[in-house]
A and B are shown apart, each in its own frame.
Chain A
């Protein structure tokens, strides 16, 4: 506990600061300012602690968090500062999984609730929803004991015609044994998205079983003779890998494949790109030109665009050409996860619901062995393994929500909350690097699942504009990836800089509006029922009006729905009155503005920053 510590705002130009007390608990760093406001920082969120040169007001300490929060403390005494520095360094670098927060976190749930929580997402059920197993695809038990591939889950779906020897043979020819398996099955066209790692082809090696495997995949799709093989790496990288005995598929050896490079950069490029982005977004007193050139130099949006472009390519192949696609990168757990999951998100509206998104993450990221532990640096380890691959996925989804504001059941807060917990280590879902490791850690017994927790506060994550039956044709999203459409995600990278956000939050307002509409509809129903009871005969006209759906179809929007009577021209003497906002139309309007304000709590905003971690 250190008193008289100052917290500086990183963007305000005035040197105002908050003075308060700093506490170190077993799991959090806590700062309470003089007006009793609390700032909680989870130790696991701390990415870097830095002591700056001594100033006149004390010893500055800058803490950078993995959720892009940056706090700048000034501690009056150097010894205190040094103590804090050392303890934070120690606390933020965990050596063993058992020391992670998830193993001590206890939300007061009984055992059956804990078990139920873990059973919430059932991938077998998810594959059934897609329509597998079926005549062409089956569940394989080849990897039941993790014998073929350690980093894959136990249950894998493969073409029926791929026998066990083919699977085993193919896995020997693929980096880390990650052979081609089903990721998503597109029922409408019977086309499949499959994923694997790079082949060990070197300059000329071949593998008959692997060739059979690919043939089996393309034959499992009756509507199309050829299949695509997408290598998500830049061509140069893939060629370089050949020297190490790895590489990519030779179109001559595989029958009827169309090979395509997509050119997403590797984890190291992405890591340094994010680093540059953060430098730009953290600079004080930046000019517009500095910001734009910094944004460009970081290349971050270019990478986001590359990921989305790849997904769009994938979706076109599947939905337009009805061709199956096999996606891989090097090991098939970073770029492949990004592209497969985004592809599925574009194809299937289920993944655009809150629950569906959880399923998608469980399937394409957690179960297929995206190395969350390494990529997020959950344990003290190789910093070269850390990379914002999952962050990029979330940002791509966010960009889609911007283009399709009505297509997603969840809102930005949901994405941010998931991002928060990927790094928080508070729940078991993202610990470890693969399913096998998770089983060994006995996470299901010792920790809790994030998903029931998120579903519990679902209200917060709902997109008020969501309209599942907005238009059935839109079940397939076709985003525009012209560069004008990519924006800097302020709410992610400046989530905690309160002064940076729009001062007014629209979310609650819209939420109230749609709720009020629902309420009114119910009122009407009730009133009608009353009238019916009284009169014994329903009023036909009113019943008809009732049947109008809450959200009129888009076609109805083009012809403006009957507006209230409109004054054709305001008479002169009305001029003064309208200024006061008191012509009839205005009155009506301010009336429900008042209603809004009544229904709302005093503070209206998406206050992400305030004590979200206090659970």
Chain B
């Protein structure tokens, strides 16, 4: 506990607030003493990305905290010793080494064991496959990976073409980076075109694998509506070619029958990390001129990357819907760009994924189950900073950009996205811990922690979109991806800068309008 701490606002030059700083086991709490109403700022230790001591000023020792949810706090502490203590404890607390130290393992919302278990069963991927019509004549759910022998980063249950027997699957897995074989991600019931995902083939300069070729053939033949299938490599062509030297690479159109191969050119995790870094630097400028802001935004390349991801999603959706062709998507390991692109395409094709429940299913399916390395990408534990990358943040932003174009097509509002984004980093719930299903089982996530989804469903009323027009109002979305359609997301990157936002909240107003309407209707029926 440190008293007489000042909190500076990063844009206004108003007088700094004076208050007290508390360090608890899980949170940093700042209580504003000067305000008439008790104002508290809570920062979860897991949210802290960096802590920085700045040079001494006349007011005291400044301490700058950057959070992973783009919150930034600038404290000024009176005494150097206090400042140093806070600094070292925060460093320690914000970088846990062992998974057991994560908040999720100590978080206890006072819930019975049964309801916790029910919470974990809320999202059942089998039900989603059933919804797509699987198993059917062409696709089946296989348990070939039940002991994680085929692929340790895939879930135990996979959907593959019926025509692909065990030998083909195992053969193909040997030819794919980390054994991540082609499996079904989404089946578009209307024309039987499928979106499948995998990792890059170990083709090098000339290697071939008969089973892998058969696997692709099986996928293509599972869709009788089209004589060909697309194979989409989401990497830039140059990167893919460079991988060939390492014995990896991409599919040769000559070896695979009737495939159409296409590069899409989404940059890798390192480029994305740097891009976000630059974007945040722009956000942190104190009073940038219009030119500074626009040049900074351009230089960061962030919106360019968002557009690239969106373009890829649109390409997939078009191939499936307009050309009735199945698509196989991969990048290098098939857990970053592939997850982005597959989930966006599903979101565009299927209105179910635009509901609360559906969006949860989508994240569970394409991100959690298929092994997006949340723990590494979000830096949950102390580890290699080169593995951290805002891949999931980009996905969330793409969804937000879609919401701007289709304000009535989503059941949830921006707040739902922000809430999820917060909890991906908060480690308060078990869903996003670890890097793959196997690891989560080993960590006993399902016994020891709680699931985020029931918690969010409880808050449904605040998180819903008052303009949603229902499940049946829109089917496929065809977004516009001209550069004019991409906006800087103030609500995400400057979320905690209160001065930055429209002074009036339309969302609140509409929600209260809707609530009032419900109330009035009830009154009316009562009166009748």
A residues near B, CB below 8 A? 11, 281, 286-293, 295-296, 299, 301-302, 305, 402-407, 465, 467, 470, 474, 477-478, 480, 482-488, 490, 494, 499-500, 502-504, 506, 509-510, 513-514, 516-517, 520-521, 523-524, 527-528, 531, 542, 545, 548, 550-552, 556-557, 560-564, 566, 568-572, 575-576, 578-579, 581, 585, 588-590, 592-594, 596-597
Contacts and interface: CB of A to CB of B under 8 A. Distances in A.
Interface in B492-509: 494, 499-500, 502-506, 508-509
B404 A293 contact: no
Contact of B470 (A503, A527, A564, A593): A593
Nearest to A514: B513
B258 interface: no
A90 B16 CA distance: 65
Q: Is the interface of B mostly helix, strand, loop or mixed?
A: helix
Given A517-B520, A581-B355, A405 B504 contact: yes
A244 B505 CA distance: 51
B518 A564 contact: yes
Interface string B284-327: 00011111111101100101100100000000000000000000
A487 B409 CA distance: 23
B294 A404 contact: no
Given A483-B290, A575-B123, 18 more contacts: A289-B301, A291-B483, A293-B298, A296-B298, A483-B292, A483-B293, A503-B477, A504-B407, A510-B467, A514-B513, A517-B516, A520-B520, A548-B516, A552-B516, A561-B516, A564-B461, A569-B118, A575-B122
27 contacts: A288-B307, A293-B295, A299-B291, A406-B506, A470-B504, A478-B503, A480-B499, A482-B287, A483-B288, A484-B494, A490-B484, A504-B406, A504-B409, A513-B517, A521-B520, A524-B524, A550-B516, A551-B512, A552-B512, A569-B458, A570-B457, A571-B118, A575-B124, A579-B357, A589-B470, A593-B469, A594-B470
Contacts of B467: 506, 509-510
A363 B46 CA distance: 57
State the majority secondary structure of interface residues on A.
helix
Nearest to B355: A581
Contacts of B516: 517, 548, 550, 552, 561
B350 to A, nearest CB: 11
B297 A292 contact: yes
B453 to A, nearest CB: 9
A288 B308 CA distance: 10
Contact of A520 (B292, B500, B517): B517
Contacts of B510: 510, 513
B485 to A, nearest CB: 7
B473 A593 contact: yes
A237 B465 CA distance: 51
Contacts of B490: 484-485
B462 A301 contact: no
A296 B468 CA distance: 35
Task: Name the residue among A478, A499, A517 with the largest chain B CB count within 10 angstroms.
Answer: A517
A566 B520 contact: no
- Give the size range of B's interface with the partner: 35 or more
A502 B404 contact: yes
A545 B470 contact: no
B521 interface: yes
Contact of B290 (A281, A302, A509, A596): A302
A292 B520 contact: no
A15 B123 CA distance: 45
Nearest to B286: A482
A485 to B, nearest CB: 7
Contacts of A470: 504
Nearest to A592: B517
Nearest to A406: B504
B131 interface: yes
B502 A561 contact: no
Contacts of B527: 524, 527-528, 531, 542
B517 A292 contact: no
B460 interface: yes
B36 interface: no
B483 A290 contact: yes
Most A Cβ at <10 Å: residue of B294, B355, B461, B527: B294
Contacts of B293: 483-484
Nearest to B283: A484
Contacts of B295: 292-293, 296
B304 to A, nearest CB: 4
Contacts of B471: 581, 590
Contact of B122 (A516, A542, A570): A570
List the 3 closest pairs (A to B, CB-CB), nearest first.
A296-B294, A292-B298, A291-B483
Contacts of A569: 115, 118-119, 454, 457-458
B482 A557 contact: no
Contacts of A593: 468-470, 473
Contacts of B461: 560, 563-564, 566
Contacts of A510: 467, 510
